[in-house]
């Protein structure tokens, strides 16, 4: 549920600026990185790596507590999970951003009936969780975010 929650925020609420989506994709563009100051590039990369470290820390904790079952080196497992979640989230946000103004129903704010919900659920459940993510867990996730004003 926690992994899905990160995909369901209303970015109009949690973003610092109205153009955060575009900025996050823009700053890691090679043309920008080639022209950025060493200090700025260092800060952007540190931000990115801090997010990855936080994800890995949370997932290692899930393994230690038995919430996520895994034997052996967790790094390959965490890399697969992180990459899958990243691809689904960034891909969805990119498509939704590009489709604005084209009468497309794809919204940045993921709705309960959005196809990405089932894709996220299938990806998350491809790993050996103590309790797989089901429809009730998806609904609890939506409700918790709504209760906290994050949707």
Contact 28, 130 (CB under 8 A): no
Q: Give whole-number Cα distances, 123 to 75, 86, 118, 134, in Å.
A: 17, 11, 9, 12
For residue range 106-149, list pLDDT tens digits in order: 677 889 998 899 999 999 999 999 999 999 999 999 999 999 99
pTM here?
A: 0.79
pLDDT at 15: 72
- Average pLDDT in the 46-59 region? 90
Q: Phi first, then psi: what are they for 121, rounded to 5°?
A: -60, -45
The string of pLDDT tens digits covering residues 1-52 is 999 998 898 877 877 777 776 676 677 778 888 888 889 888 888 888 898 8
């Amino acid at each position: 549920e926690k992994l899905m929650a990160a995909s369901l925020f209303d970015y109009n609420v949690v973003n610092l600026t109205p153009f955060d989506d575009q900025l996050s994709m823009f700053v890691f563009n090679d043309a920008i990185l080639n022209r950025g100051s060493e200090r700025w590039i260092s800060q952007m990369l540190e931000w990115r790596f801090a997010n990855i470290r936080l994800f890995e820390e949370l997932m290692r904790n899930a393994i230690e507590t038995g919430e996520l079952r895994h034997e052996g080196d967790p790094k390959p497992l965490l890399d697969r999970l992180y990459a899958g979640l990243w691809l689904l989230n960034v891909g969805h946000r990119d498509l939704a951003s590009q489709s604005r103004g084209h009468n497309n129903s794809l919204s940045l704010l993921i709705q309960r009936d959005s196809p990405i919900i089932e894709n996220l659920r299938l990806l998350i459940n491809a790993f050996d969780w103590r309790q797989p993510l089901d429809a009730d867990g998806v609904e609890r996730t939506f409700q918790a975010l709504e209760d906290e004003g994050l949707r």
